[in-house]
């Protein structure tokens, strides 16, 4: 998978960091903040991953397209569907990203909540990618 988008990075440092970042996202690490992904990659500090996300020059749309092409090639099924699921988590504070007073089906009314939308790929062959 990593080879499918490696050429999108002009320098070896962001290419390696992107590989470590993607590997961390696909790992069993329970909480996937930048710090946890840095620790998973064996780095002492988050500087390289933060630089990748905020300052490094790379074409995110092209990487997305490369990854999509790989998924279609390996898992593509003309009968597959994309499954969209929205879920809300009630929150008491305001420090979690995305928390605000908004409608959530979890409560059935407007509450202080964080709402997430998830997209999964499902095919009759049992392959899923979420």
Regarding whether 103 and 125 lie in a shared domain, the answer is: yes
Owning domain of residue 113: 81-129
| CB contact at 8 A, 21 and 13 | no
Rounded (10°) CA dihedral 27, 28, 33, 34 = -40
Rounded CA-CA distance 118/85 in Å is 5
Question: In terms of pTM, does the model score above 0.85?
Answer: no
Which tens digit of pLDDT belongs to each residue from 61-109? Answer: 998 898 888 878 887 788 888 889 988 999 988 788 889 999 998 899 9
What's the chain's Rg over C-alpha atoms? 18
Query: Inter-axis angle of helices 47-54 and 12-25, to 10 degrees?
Result: 100
Tell me the pLDDT of the chain averaged across its residues.
85
Check whether residue 63 and residue 120 sit in a common domain.
Answer: no
62 with 86, same domain: the answer is no
Domain count, the chain: 2
pLDDT given at position 129? 52
Please say whether the beta carbons of 72 and 89 come within 8 A. no
Residue listed under structure tokens 């499954």:
83
- Length reported for the chain: 130
Same domain, 19 and 68: yes
Question: Closest Cα partner for 120 from 130, 111, 110?
Answer: 130
Same-domain pairing of 97 and 70: no
- Does 7 share its domain with 67? yes
Query: Poorest-confidence range of 34-38, 74-78, 114-118?
Result: 74-78
């Amino acid at each position: 998978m990593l080879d499918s988008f490696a050429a999108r990075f002009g320098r070896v440092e962001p290419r390696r960091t992107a590989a470590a970042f993607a590997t961390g996202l696909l790992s069993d690490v329970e909480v996937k903040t930048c710090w946890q992904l840095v620790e998973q990659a064996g780095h002492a500090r988050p500087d390289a991953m933060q630089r990748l996300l905020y300052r490094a020059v790379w074409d995110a749309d092209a990487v997305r397209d490369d990854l999509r092409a790989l998924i279609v090639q390996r898992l593509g099924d003309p009968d597959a569907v994309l499954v969209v699921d929205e879920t809300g988590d009630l929150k008491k504070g305001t420090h979690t990203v995305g928390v605000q007073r908004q409608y959530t089906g979890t409560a059935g009314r407007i509450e202080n909540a964080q709402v997430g939308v998830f997209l999964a790929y499902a095919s009759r062959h049992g392959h899923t990618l979420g």
